[in-house]
Amino acid sequence: MRALIQRVSEARVTVEGAVLGEIGPGLLVLVCAMQGDTEAQADKLAAKIAKLRIFKDEADRMNLSVRDVSGAALVVSQFTLAAETKGNRPGFSTAAAPDAGKRLYERFAATLQAEGVPVATGRFGADMKVSLINDGPVTIWIDTEG
């Protein structure tokens, strides 16, 4: 699985003008299931993100996790993280099929919640609008294959 994580002051996802999920300080997690990904990889990724120390401590060092700062996560499905960009038009053939992608996305969000991080979500497969205020900015890419 792949995830692009952004430390945020706030983030929101809407569909057709209706707010589906929003958080204050925490993480915006764009997540993509790849072909062959498993529930174990979703669980591993969620556990890693829950423990990732990218929030500032009292010494102004990135040394605290989202749990440590009582932050939340906005989890949004993002199949375009699977983009293959050899040419001018991206291909997405390495992304998981929609049914597997939805199952793994939901598993990831549930596991992150079980790890003690309050989770808001978008809607899998929907045309979503995501707004955020990136804090730092801090943006980190994680791939379970890496």
Please say whether the beta carbons of 11 and 22 come within 8 A. Answer: yes
Q: CB neighbours of 64 closer than 8 A, spacing ≥ 6?
A: 53, 55, 56, 57
Helices (H), 22-119: 39-51, 98-114
Q: How far apart are CA 37 and CA 17, in angstroms?
A: 32
The set of catalytic residues is 78-80
